[in-house]
Amino acid sequence: MLQSRWSQANSLLCVGLDPDLTRLPAHLAGRDDAIYEFCRQIVDATHDLACAFKPQIAYFSSLRAEDQLEALIAYIKTRYPDLPVILDAKRGDIGSTAEHYAREAYERYGAHAVTLSPYMGHDSVTPYLQYPDKGAIILCRTSNPGGSDLQALPVRSTPLYLHVARLVAEQWNSNGQCGLVVGATYPQELAEVRAVVGDLPLLVPGIGAQGGDIEASVRAGRTASGQGMMINSSRAILYAGKGEDFALEARRVALETRDAINLSR
Amino acid sequence: MLQSRWSQANSLLCVGLDPDLTRLPAHLAGRDDAIYEFCRQIVDATHDLACAFKPQIAYFSSLRAEDQLEALIAYIKTRYPDLPVILDAKRGDIGSTAEHYAREAYERYGAHAVTLSPYMGHDSVTPYLQYPDKGAIILCRTSNPGGSDLQALPVRSTPLYLHVARLVAEQWNSNGQCGLVVGATYPQELAEVRAVVGDLPLLVPGIGAQGGDIEASVRAGRTASGQGMMINSSRAILYAGKGEDFALEARRVALETRDAINLSR
């Protein structure tokens, strides 16, 4: 699905949906369904520019708005059936609990893929792989400052994140369902990961508000065919405008970002 | 709160609340509030034997039952105000997202503490520590088979989980808000962790259904005062009985477990 979307849309841009109630346009803020409506308009304004949408569940669950997340994903799947939806949840737990998280992500919300933490190892990921048509995107080298605390620790002289990359590419990905999260804030490390994982899809956060460099990231992370990446931008797109034309402003920034990515491919 | 509960209740037993709809007693299974009611009866039957309750959020969110989790925690806090409630959610994300997860755990659900993954490092934990009266319990050495995939990797000849233990005890715990998750399935490693973290509270899953040894775990993990542990049992207590007397059966197993723990202190 992702492969065909990359080709069809000619885009590596993933639009992250992190609806922060304190940053919504004033004309939406009072509505009961404000975060759904905000995201829906962003989706409508950017769908043709995106290779995927990535709603972040924390922004919904902190507001007791799981129903709006359900409605949003259902809307995307109905209206734009070619667009993969990645539920950003970073789950990680023992097998019996992971079965319930997998049910939440794939059955309740109907996401095509979910992000996962690797810290608890293979049996914390296996339950997600039991859904043969679903994806599991595993944290490898994250874009935040604290990412180095564990991920950069040397394990027999190679950093932990490269062990995770190999573990996923060589073992957990036996059915072709896995991807990795590798931040744009470390292009050199993105290149190292790409070198060991073949064509594995990489979800790359960290451009936009987090300051990662688009050109360096694309050159470091692309596959031989110039694809293989979902380069995520959330806040820079969502909050590009604050008025009634916020969706148009979001489209403008999404277009610029997609084009900047394509120029570097 | 935990310290006073350990002393007052003379118990290191944490009762895990993992309400699996397929395993509930038949007379409850048809109710709209089945998992709330099941957990509430378990709480009432075991509260005097427990040092904490630990609801696992996946079991609620897979069923679209966040409202029942809210009601359950509110019930525990109202009825048994001396009992800490640990929300088992194993969250881990960048700072701006972690703020929303912290709000979910502490404000929406009102939990006293939440479990977290350390994989994304310090800024993924900091937002939780901004709540000065709340706890953050961080995965260190987990009880599941895959726990070794990352946690046992050698970092400059010591395993990763010991690095996490030191990081939490020496840096993240500056305000005394942290604890660690260390599984009962590895008593030797529990002893190693205890040796480097002083009196830090340890949440110890893995006895009961997962097969960890109570006596070995208590000897390995207790502090000099014979406290410092929350030894979790979920399924062995919850599903001790299947009939209308399930709560009595749960109490019987909880009592045996508490006493077996106390015999080893």
Residue predicted with more confidence, B210 or A123: A123
Q: Is the pTM of the predicted complex or chain greater than 0.90?
A: yes
The confidence band for B198, taking pLDDT boundaries of 50, 70 and 90, is very high
Distance CA B100, CA A234 (A): 15
Phi, psi of A124 (to 5 degrees): -85, -10
**What is the pLDDT at residue B112?**
98
* B121·A147 Cβ contact <8 A: yes
pLDDT at A217 over 80: yes
Q: Tell me which chain B residues have a C-beta less than 8 angstroms from the C-beta of A155.
A: 153-155, 160
Which chain A positions have a beta carbon within 8 Å of B145's beta carbon? 121-123
**What is the crossing angle of helices A34-46 and A66-79, to 10°?**
20
Q: Where are the beta strands (DSSP E) in B61-191?
A: 86-91, 113-116, 135-141, 154-155, 158-159, 178-182
Q: In whole angstroms, how far apart are CA B161 and each of A64, B59, B238?
A: 34, 27, 30
Q: Is A97 on the interface with B (CB under 8 A)?
A: yes
Element (H, E) at A238: helix A235-238
- pLDDT grade, residue B27 (50/70/90)? very high
How many angstroms away from the CA of A117 is the closest CA of chain B? Answer: 7
pLDDT band at B143 (very low <50, low <70, confident <90, very high): confident
What mean pLDDT do residues B44-65 have? 98
Residue A198: per-residue pLDDT: 97
Residue A85's pLDDT band, with cuts at 50, 70 and 90, is very high
Sheet holding B135-141, edge to edge: B52-55, B13-17, B229-233, B202-204, B178-182, B135-141, B113-116, B86-91
Q: Which residue of A has its CA nearest to B159?
A: A155
Strands (E), chain B: 13-17, 52-55, 86-91, 113-116, 135-141, 154-155, 158-159, 178-182, 202-204, 229-233
The C-alpha of B259 sits at a distance from chain A's nearest C-alpha, in angstroms, of: 27
Using the predicted structure, report yes or no on whether residue B109 has a pLDDT greater than 90.
Answer: yes
**Residues of chain B with pLDDT > 90: what percent?**
94
- Cα–Cα distance between A139 and A151 in angstroms, integer? 10
Q: Say if A16 is an interface residue toward chain B (CB within 8 Å).
A: no
Q: Which two tokens stand for residue B33?
A: 């509030």
Taking CA atoms, what residue in B is nearest to A110? Answer: B62
- Rounded (to 5) percent helix, strand, coil in chain A: 50, 20, 30
| pLDDT for B12 | 98
Per residue in A249-264, pLDDT tens?
999 999 999 999 999 9
Measure in Å the smallest separation between the Cα of B31 and chain A Cα atoms: 20
pLDDT value, residue B67: 98
Answer yes or no: do A142 and B95 touch at CB < 8 A.
no
Which pairing describes strands A13-17 and A52-55: parallel, antiparallel, or unpaired?
parallel
Q: Which residues of A touch B92 (CB under 8 A)?
A: 90, 92, 117, 119, 139
Tell me the residues of chain B between 169 and 208 that have a Cβ less than 8 Å away from chain A.
none
Segment 106-135 of chain B within 8 Å of chain A by CB: 107-108, 117-125
Residue A180 with chain B: CB contacts under 8 Å = none
Q: What is the pLDDT of residue B257?
A: 97
Write down the pLDDT at residue B211.
78
Average pLDDT of the residues in B228-240: 97
**pLDDT confidence band for A208 (50 / 70 / 90):** confident
CB contact under 8 A, A92 and B117: yes
ipTM: 0.97
- Options A54, A90, A134, A242, the catalytic residue: A90
- Distance in Å, alpha carbon of A69 to nearest chain B alpha carbon: 12
Active-site residue flag, A90: yes
What is the structure's pLDDT at B196? Answer: 97
Across chain B, mean pLDDT equals 96
Contact indicator for B135, B112 with CB cutoff of 8 Å: yes
